[in-house]
Amino acid sequence: MEAVTLQKLTFINFRGESIEIGHYRPFYLTSWVGAGEVAAEMILTQSFKQHGRTFEDAYLEPRSITINAEIKTNNIEELYEYRQRVARVFTPLKPGILRYEYPLGVREIPAISEHVPNFPSGKDNRRETHQKCIIDLICPGALWLSAEDRVEELAVYEGGMSFPLRLPNAFAFKSPSRSKVVTNNGDVSTPPLITFNGPATAPIRIVNETLSQFIEVNQSLKEGEKLVISTAYRNKRVTKIDANGNERDANDYVHPFSKYFQLEDGNNRLSYSTGAEYERAPVTIKFKERFLGV
């Protein structure tokens, strides 16, 4: 059971409706479990006459979270109103987001109620202005996510010449380097969202040198156009966006040996190139760090 000092849970459903459970009326956080522990499925193999087994890989099972809360109100009418609100927000029909605020920061995890919240009966559980509440959530993805996206620029502007006498004018220049070390401070690898901004000459290529993996797209970009590469599981795709915001599928232009790489935990050296050596097209890497527990 997790201590609740300086903690707050917020659940946001698919409609954007939310409930905060903390240390103030009407929703008090009594206790909760599932912040850290999550089961893993081990893949082990055994050869002929081998003693024991050989570890091959492991996968996390869905995370289960149970929240024990109390609803405290001024009258019985408010009590039933808040009960109805809890049932509506924690609907088991569609997933939402559970946000956890604690002394080290904020984490989030996609979650869905396993059932309509339980409001137990009995004098110890319910009175005219008091109701205990049990909420059971399942988190299919298992991993906690950083609340804010990390954004890294591969082609950045660096400070150049400046003028004395406190004049506001300054010049800047793009870094001659097309590579950068991007650090993933999470516990596991994470999928980046990669955006190339035009102008850029085909082929456009980005490489994770740490993994020796690349993504190459045979498309050129005009001024104001973008090429967006999603590497997320079950959402791997390449989209070209014109200057007016119109999107077009560009998956057919991906090099057949491309690998939709992840950012490993720790340092990742990324580099990019285009069909013209002189080009320094701005490239944005966006990702969320992922954690095993909080």
Which of 94, 118, 146 is the endpoint of a domain?
Answer: 146
pTM for this prediction: 0.84
Clarify whether residues 155 and 138 are in a common domain.
no
Residue 1 lies in a domain: no
Clarify whether residues 156 and 253 are in a common domain.
yes
Contact 80, 38 (CB under 8 A): no
Clarify whether residues 129 and 235 are in a common domain.
no
State the burial class of residue 206 (Cβ atoms within 10 Å of its Cβ: 0-12, 13-18, 19+). Answer: buried
Residue 51 lies in a domain: yes
Task: Fill in the amino acid letter for 267.
Answer: N
**pLDDT value of position 177:** 58
Cα-based angle 118, 119, 120 (whole degrees, multiple of 5): 105
Clarify whether residues 197 and 121 are in a common domain.
no
Clarify whether residues 34 and 106 are in a common domain.
yes
Distance separating alpha carbons of residues 40 and 158, to the nearest angstrom: 45
Clarify whether residues 88 and 44 are in a common domain.
yes
Domain with 175 in it? 150-291
Clarify whether residues 68 and 97 are in a common domain.
yes
Clarify whether residues 85 and 212 are in a common domain.
no
Report DSSP letters for 78-108, one per residue: HHHHHHHHHHHHT-SSS-EEEEEEETTEEEE
Clarify whether residues 23 and 66 are in a common domain.
yes
pLDDT digits (tens, 9 = 90+) for 4-49: 456 899 999 999 999 999 988 899 999 999 998 888 999 999 999 8
CATH assignment of the domain containing 179: 2.60.120.860
Clarify whether residues 247 and 137 are in a common domain.
no
pLDDT digits (tens, 9 = 90+) for 94-138: 999 999 999 889 999 999 999 999 999 888 777 888 899 999 999
Count: domains in the chain = 2
Measured between its terminal Cα atoms, the distance across the chain in Å is 13
Clarify whether residues 139 and 15 are in a common domain.
yes
Pure H helices in the chain = 76-89
